[in-house]
Amino acid sequence: MNPAVSCLMITRDRPALAARAIGCFARQRYAARELVIVNQGGAEYRARLADLVRAYEISDVRIIDADPGLRLGALRNISLDAAEGDLVCIWDDDDCSHPDRLAVQVRELLGNDAHTCFLSDHLQLFEQDRSLYWIDWTLPEPKARFPLLPGTMLMTNDRRFRYPESGRYEHFGEDWGVLIKLHEQVRVHHISGHGHLYLYSYHGENTFSLAHHRKIGIRARPHAVMSVLEPEIRAAMAHYPVPRPVLVHGAEGPMYSISEGPGEETWH
């Protein structure tokens, strides 16, 4: 029997972004899953989320109301406490996941006898200019302490690991303390070569600044690799409901445009 996965989503008054994330959950090919939504947006936003869940005909969803004043660390812990699955998966409301994301990550976690796994590469989209990159955290220069994107975490449902609710990392970088403890105490597997499974998006309302997101671009894959990956990138983008056309970049600059795909998700 496949382990059940609880996908954990924090959201507040971002209906268009939430629609994308919930749509990506609905399209997952991995069957044993539930969606836990922690809502900071009040009763009206909760009703809109419930309408969207019904529109997508998703049955295994729970919406939990949270104090608007809580910081990200506390909100993530609320979602962990509500998770009923064998595994928990971060499901940020402003990013997109390929329909095969859960299936691949569960397979990789089980196949490597790991407690937790992360993606070591991913797509990155800047929505304002529609520029797209393939980011590889395993590139040797500059060397990353943890070659992964924190938002791609799939972890065994283990109450030993909690997010900080006070101090430096209570809101910005709340996942850093968890990353350190996981790598010190359990087996963590970094999954390479599946960057098409996750679209990390900068849209202007992110927790971190544009400068922070642009800095990640130093890990963009070069033109030679991006040319080989073109069919894979085009196939993946066909699943992502983001504005078109998208201009694909390698480390050296722009390369080719992608106009085909589902287009931007609309609120139901």
Contact between 256 and 248 (Cβ < 8 Å): yes
Contact between 3 and 255 (Cβ < 8 Å): no
Q: Is the pTM of this model over 0.85?
A: yes
- pLDDT tens-digit series, residues 91-127: 999 999 999 999 999 999 999 999 999 999 999 999 9
Distance of CA 202 to the CA centre of its chain: 12
Distance of CA 199 to the CA centre of its chain: 7
130 residue type, one letter: R
Give the up-direction half-sphere exposure of residue 136: CA atoms within 13 A in the CB hemisphere.
15
The first and second tokens of residue 215, run together, are: 């800095």
Q: Which of 189, 188, 190, 214 is nearest to 200 (CA)?
A: 214
- pLDDT tens-digit series, residues 119-176: 999 999 999 999 999 999 999 888 899 999 999 999 999 999 999 888 776 666 788 8
**Bridge partners (DSSP) listed for residue 156:** 87
Contacts of 143 (CB under 8 A, 6+ apart): none
Q: Determine phi and psi for 57, rounding to 5 degrees.
A: 55, 45
Q: Where are the domains of the chain?
A: 5-258
Please report, rounded to a whole number, the percentage of residues in the chain having pLDDT higher than 70: 95
**Bridge partners (DSSP) listed for residue 116:** 155, 188
Please identify, in words, the CATH class of the domain defined by 5-258: alpha beta
Q: What is the dihedral of CA 190, 194, 197, 200, to 10 degrees?
A: 70
What is d(CA 7, CA 193) in angstroms, rounded to the nearest whole number? 22
The first and second tokens of residue 113, run together, are: 């006898």
